[in-house]
Structures are given as C-alpha cells and as structure tokens.
Structure 1
Amino acid sequence: MRLRLPAERPTEPPTGYKIAHPVLSQDGTRAGFTGVSLGGALPYAVLDDASCVYGLRHRPPARRCDCGFHCVHSRAAAEALLCNAEHRAAVLLEVSVLGAYIRFERGFRHARQRVRTATAGPCDCGAAALVLADAGWGRPGWRALAPACAGCARGRTSVSLTGFARLAGQGLRVVAAGGGTGPAHPGLPAADGLGVPELVAEAALLQARLDWLQSQLARLGERGTGGGEQG
C-alpha cells in the first residue's frame, strides 16, 4: 500500500522565489526571463506554462521527471543563490505558483507561474542599477540582460527598468535593490505614467547615450583632421 500526500487546495496561489536572467527579444519588442539551471534554454514570459525540457508528452510537473517551474519558499534562500559567481548578474523573482504543483521541503515544482516582481541587483561597478544592459550572451532570438548603471551601459543595447516592465507586461514590477520602482502608475495613462524615479532613470540613460555619441563623433573628427594633415 502506497501512502499519498494530501492534496492541497489553497484559497490563494502560494508565493515562491527564484533567480533568473532577464532577456530581450532580438527585435526589442518582447521581454522575459531564462532560468539559471534546468530549462535555461527555454525563455519564458511573465505569465507562462511549463513544458517538459526532455520533450516528453506529459504535463509538468510529472512525479517521475524534473520538468516544471522551480522555486523556493524563502526569499533568503533565493538571494543566497545570487552569491554564486555565475549568478551575480541574475535578478530575484517573486512568483505566484499557479496550476498543479508538488511541494518539497525547500520549495515547489509547478505547472504555471506569474512573475510578480523582479529585483535587479547593483551594477558591476557597485552603483545602483538604472537599466538592464546587454550581458554579452543570449539564446537564439533572445539577448540576455544584466543590471547596469547608466555609465557602464554606455554603448550597449539596454532598456530601463520601466521599459522592461512595459515590454514584459502582465503587471510586472521591476525594482532596483534599494532603489526606485520600474512600472508605470496604474492610475495614469501608459504614455504619462512615469514617476520621478523612472524619469530620472530614463534621463540618465539618454544622457549616457548622448555622451557616447559625442565621444564617437569627436573620435571621427580627430581621424578626419589627421587624414587631412597627412594628405
């Protein structure tokens, strides 16, 4: 006789925590996330269904498979994963566990999830992140992003925290650790819904791009002058 665990029927979706890399589509019109371990080759949206990474035709989370979304119960446990060198550029996600799930001692394996909040850590230089910039790697059709300040993001493909939240949709909130929030205020039109922190971040990103453009123009001007003297 096999003992079965009691079925849970929560009144509200359980909350879990995980880390992931933010990604931006090649054409810059969509945003999502990709995992740091199993299933990392399959970027997912803010609201998405899991699929079996082994290509099997069962519904995740199957008991005899590792498929499904994974998360832990404790925010502190997820933050601890960010200490790993290969995970330093990842962001911390707070998710709603939806659909069927299997509860484990440390977390869940589940069929569906909604990412509610993404928290970006500091830039490599130690400054608070204002943007998510090209991390130098990606997946087919997707460019991986990493938290960055406006200065370090200069010259790289980047999107503000607010812009990433808008592209991802589904009410996602993107915040900087210890900094301002990313989404537009729900009571204001999308075009005018930016608050002071968001406008400051957008202005800093624009200034960084202008500074980079001016430096490139100055460099081209110096080359042109040198070429004239030699001729």
Structure 2
Amino acid sequence: MRLRLPAERPTEPPTGYKIAHPVLSQDGTRAGFTGVSLGGPLPYAVLDDASCVYGLRHRPPARRCDCGFHCVHDRAAAEALLCTAEHRAAVLLEVSVLGAYIRFERGFRYARQRVRTVTAGPCGCGAGAVALADAGWGRPGWRVLAPACAGCLRGRPSVSLAGFARLAGQGLRVVAGAGAPGAPPGPSAGLTSATEPGVPELAAEAALLQARLDWFQSQLARLGDRGAGGAGQG
C-alpha cells in the first residue's frame, strides 16, 4: 500500500520566491513576466493560472508531469540564482501560492499564483535601477526588460518602476534593490510604486517619451517619402 502525505489546508496562502524576466507587450499596454526555465516561452500576468507546457489536457500541477508554477521557500535560495551569468538581468519575485500545490523539500509546484513584490537588481553598470529597459531580446509579442539606471537608458524603450507596476496591475509593488558593491548608490534605491516619483524616475519617463517620439517621427518621415514616391510614379 502506498502511503500518502497528509493534505494541507493553510489559513493563508503560502509565500514563495522565484526569479523571472519582466516583459512589456509590443504595444506597451501590458506588463508581465516570463520564466527562466521550463515555462519560459509562456509569459504570465501578476495573477495567473498555470498551464501545461507540453500541451497535455490535465490541470497543473499533475503528479506525473513537470507543469505548474515553481518557486522556492527561501528568499536567499532564489537570490542565489541571480548570480549565474544567464540570470543576472532577471528580477526577484515574491509570490503567493494559490490553488492546489505540491510541496517539495525546497519549494512548491502549484496551479495559480499572485506576484506581490518585484525587486529589481542593479543596472549592468552596477548603479541602482530606476527603470526597466529593453534587454535586446524577447518573446513573440513581448519585449523582455532589464533593470537600468538613468545614465544607461540612452533612448532605449523603457518603463519606470512605478509605470511597470501600473501596467501590471493587481496591486503589484516594484522595488529597486541596492546597487552592486563599490558602485555609486542609485538615487532611487528602495523606491516603490507607492511613493511619489522623483527626479530619476521622471528622467526615465522622459527618456521613454523621447524614444516614442523618435519612433513616431521616423514613421512620419517614412510615410512622407512613400507619398512623394507615389506622386512621381503617377
């Protein structure tokens, strides 16, 4: 006879930690996350249900499958994953484990989650992040973002930390973590979406607006050239 572990019925949803890449939709109206391992091709929202990445018709987390959201119990264990080269630009998520779950020694595999807090690490230069900027890669319909300081935005498509929280919705908090040791401290370290925007955040918003303005101007110029060409051919 196979012994089964007792079913858990917690009074409050368990808390877990994981890392992910923040993403922005192609039209800039929605924000979410994409995983760093098995479910990477399937971006998810702040509040979302898991689906089987193999396309099987069962409800995650199925016992004989790897499907479902994954997280670890210990925050330090999740932060340790950010040390690897391929995950340096990821962010740390604090999540509520919702729905059915399977508990393991180091974490959970579960059916539904709510992302409560996002902690953005330092910019690639080591300074504290004030925005999430285009990382140079993405998924179909989604642009992957990475933490960036005001000095490194350089006109790249970006969104401020508070702006990302607004687009993601569901009461998400976005926090800027400390800069790398030895780097100039970011002026917005500890800034959350609940605080009033400061100079660095407004600078990030201005850079985003400028990038969009440059795009509109290039589109207008392209349409103007096309119109002139059409008149000549007639």
TM-score by length of 1: 0.84
Match of 1:160 in 2: 160
Using the TM superposition, give the Cα deviation of residue 74 of structure 1 relative to its aligned residue in structure 2, in angstroms.
Answer: 0.2
Amino acid at match of 1:159: V
Using the TM superposition, give the Cα deviation of residue 180 of structure 1 relative to its aligned residue in structure 2, in angstroms.
Answer: 2.6
Amino acid at match of 1:136: G
Question: Percent of counterpart pairs with the same letter?
Answer: 84
Using the TM superposition, give the Cα deviation of residue 204 of structure 1 relative to its aligned residue in structure 2, in angstroms.
Answer: 2.3
Please say if residues 70 and 107 of structure 2, whose CA atoms lie closer than 8 Å, have aligned partners that are also in contact.
yes
Describe the SS at the equivalent of 1:151: helix
Unaligned runs of 5+ in 1: 185-193, 214-231
* C-alpha separation in 2, matches of 1:119 and 1:54: 30
Using the TM superposition, give the Cα deviation of residue 133 of structure 1 relative to its aligned residue in structure 2, in angstroms.
Answer: 0.1
Count, aligned residues:
202
Matched, 1:203 2:199: no
Structure 1 segment 38-57 matched on structure 2, within 5 A: 38-57=38-57
Match of 1:20 in 2: 20
Using the TM superposition, give the Cα deviation of residue 41 of structure 1 relative to its aligned residue in structure 2, in angstroms.
Answer: 0.2
Structure 1 runs (4+) greater than 3 angstroms displaced: 206-213
Structure 1 segment 108-147 matched on structure 2, within 5 A: 108-147=108-147
CA RMSD of aligned residues (A): 1.7
Match of 2:100 in 1: 100
* C-alpha separation in 1, matches of 2:7 and 2:157: 47
Distance 1:51 1:78, change over 3 A: same
Amino acid at match of 1:54: Y
TM-score by length of 2: 0.83
Using the TM superposition, give the Cα deviation of residue 183 of structure 1 relative to its aligned residue in structure 2, in angstroms.
Answer: 1.6
* C-alpha separation in 2, matches of 1:27 and 1:88: 26
Out of 181, 193, 210, the residue aligned to residue 183 of structure 1 is: 193
Match of 1:65 in 2: 65
Unaligned runs of 5+ in 2: 179-188, 213-234
* C-alpha separation in 2, matches of 1:180 and 1:125: 18
